[in-house]
Every structure is written in structure tokens, then in C-alpha cells.
Amino acid sequence: MTRKDFFARVGFGAATLLVPSCIAGIATSCSSESEGSPTPAPTNVDFTLDISTGSLATNGGFLVHNGIVVARTNTGEFLAVSASCTHQGTNVNYNAAGNKFICPNHGAQFSSTGVVTQGPASSNLQQYNTTLTGNSLHVFS
């Protein structure tokens, strides 16, 4: 047996042993046991944000505050929904171009009102009320 043959056989043998483990790891990577679970939507919400500076000062911006993602649409309206994706709890981001919320972890998508439009999430995000007075944005249940 040549050195080349030896390493070829050892490499093939190692691959034969490792491939099933890798496939099993991929298959279970989305299970709820391997990652966090969703955080319950905040209740009794009542806070005010200054929108004169920061990410909410311009259209398309968003921020997470007290477990709620607050976004300013491209038309200047304000949206507020629970930040925790209902699939596994990752904070969602606001996508201004699509006027929707997207989970960066597994790609779940929610409408501007928090309704699931694409899985793997199966439950909607909680929507909250917003009222703008001057530069003060009131977010409440």
C-alpha cells in the first residue's frame, strides 16, 4: 500500500464516520431544545420615547425598547409590536422597504401589524398603540 492509498482510505473512513453526525446536527439545529424559547409579549405597556434624535428621527428607522420593537415607516407612521419572534425568541428587525418585521434567525416574517406572513413562526406578534405629540411618541397597550 502506498502512502497516497493509505491517506485516501483514512480520509474516506473518517468521512464515513463524521457525515452521519453532521447530518444529525443539521437536522436538529432548528429544534426548540437547542435554542431559546420565545419571551412572552410585554403587558401593561406604557412608555414615551423622544423621536427628535436617534433611529426614530428618520423614516425607516427602528429600535427595541422594553421588549417592543418600535419602527418608523417610510411614510413617517409609527409601528410597535413585541420584539421577540414567536418561533424561538430572537428579536425581529424592521424592514422598511417591505414594511414588515423579519426574524434574522430563521427568516420568519410578520406584517406591519405583527401578523405572520411566512413561517416558521406560527403565532402573531403582539401589536401596541402609538400616539405622537410633538417629538414624544407614546407607546401603550
Same domain, 17 and 78: no
Whose cell is 403582539? That residue is 126
Domain that holds residue 111: 46-140
> According to the model, what pLDDT value does residue 72 have?
97
- Cell numbers linked to 41: 409579549
pTM for this predicted structure? 0.72
Same domain, 6 and 60: no
As a whole number of Å, the CA-based R_g of the chain is 22
Same domain, 14 and 56: no
- Cell numbers linked to 33: 431544545
Assess if residue 41 is contained within a domain.
no
> According to the model, what pLDDT value does residue 39 have?
82
* Sequence-ordered list of residues with C-beta below 8 angstroms from that of 49, at least 6 positions apart, any chain: 56, 63, 65, 70, 136, 137, 139
CA dist., res. 87 & res. 95, Å (int): 18
> According to the model, what pLDDT value does residue 107 have?
93
Same domain, 62 and 102: yes
| Residue (of 47, 43, 42) closest to 136 by Cα position | 47
- pLDDT tens track, the chain, 141 positions: 676 665 556 555 544 545 454 444 444 344 333 345 778 898 999 999 999 999 999 999 999 999 999 999 999 999 999 999 999 989 999 999 999 999 999 999 999 999 999 989 999 999 999 999 999 999 999
Same domain, 18 and 65: no
> According to the model, what pLDDT value does residue 36 have?
56
Same domain, 25 and 50: no
CA dist., res. 16 & res. 122, Å (int): 37
> According to the model, what pLDDT value does residue 89 have?
87
> According to the model, what pLDDT value does residue 28 have?
39
